[in-house]
Amino acid sequence: MHRRNLLVHLHNDVDAFSIKPRHLDRIREAFPDITLIETTTKDELRSGLPAADWLLTWSFRPAWYQESPRLEAVFTPAAGNDWVPPDPTGRVRNFYGQFHGRIMRESLLAMMLYFNRRLALNVANQERTVWDRGSSEGCSALFSQRVLIVGYGAIGRQMAELLKAFGARITGVRRNTAGSGCDPHAERVVTFDRLEEELPVADHVVLMLPGGVETTDLFTERHFARMKPGSYLYNLGRGNCYREEHLVHALLDGPLAGAGLDVFREEPLPPSSPLWKLPNVLITPHASAISREYLDLYIEEWIETFKGQR
């Protein structure tokens, strides 16, 4: 019987996103009947496409589908189709990672506790050798707060699961509520047309919107103005959903007490951006999913997905 080929090209500038020998060994253990071909360069990837039955990769160009006559499916750890667009002909199936929430929710929690526990002030006091117990008098607890997750998909639900364990009350916002039923983690799930009603009562607003034309500037100056005075904004989705100048205005002169930002419209965030110098902003470099467990989680998820697709 003809052995079928799995082409693997998972290399990235971020070491946690690059495949390791243990991952390749795990794949061979799970599927001893297939031929695993690892490539380390784009040229090697292109050369291997004509003989590939399946592809495991970070990126793929639309034109390459025509170079892959045997290809049945493209698998990628990425949560969205930014780097692996669908096959225009519909012949090849695409499968995206669903595991990110387990890591990203800890990044979100860290940001929330950073603001709630006033950690920036404590770090500043430590640097100045100042013992000031009064600096914690303004702290808040998650169990007394409301969290609004805008873009309540798979990652948002995993975030809600963790935050609910701390006692936070969760409201999810999504395009439609079909199939949401009685959500186990959110008090309620509403549609986008209800967003402005929910903003004034939320202590934390989490943006988990995907990229693309449909979400560009979706969160407007009007939405910022509707937010609760003293509330916090977090963006771990995509940076195109609001304009930076509207966010800066809300942080300087509007209702926001602070913002935790992992994604930006332009990345890397330019040194000229005023966000760098705002004391009530916490910036991470599109790193909310970076963890040494990243590919371990993905490979186990991929194995189960692949079993169901062969």
Active-site residue, from 67, 187, 266, 267: 267
Active-site residue, from 146, 157, 223, 238: 238
Task: Compute the distance between CA of residue 78 and CA of residue 98 in angstroms, rounded to an integer.
Answer: 8
Q: Which pairing describes strands 188-191 and 204-207: parallel, antiparallel, or unpaired?
A: unpaired
Residue the block writes with tokens 């705002």: 278
Whether 11 is a known active-site residue: answer no
Residue 208: phi and psi, rounded to 5, are -125, 40
Cβ proximity of 195 and 172 under 8 Å: no
Q: Tell me which residue of 294, 299, 291, 295 sits closest to 26, measured CA to CA.
A: 299
Residue the block writes with tokens 């499916």: 73
Active-site residue, from 72, 249, 286, 300: 286
Beta bridge partners of residue 6, listed in sequence order? 36, 54
CA distance to 55, 71, 73, 81, 297, per residue, from 67 (Å): 13, 9, 14, 20, 30
Using the CB atoms, write b or e for 86-119: b if 16+ within 10 Å: ebeeeebeebbbbbbbbbbbebbbebbebbbebe
Residues 6+ apart with CB under 8 A from 146: 168, 169, 170, 171, 201, 202, 203, 204
Cβ proximity of 4 and 34 under 8 Å: yes
Whether 267 is a known active-site residue: answer yes
Task: Compute the distance between CA of residue 110 and CA of residue 123 in angstroms, rounded to an integer.
Answer: 15
Q: Spell out the SS3 assignment of 239-272.
A: CCCCCHHHHHHHHHCCCEEEEEECCCCCCCCCCC
Whether 196 is a known active-site residue: answer no
DSSP, res 125: H
Residues identified as active-site: 238, 267, 286
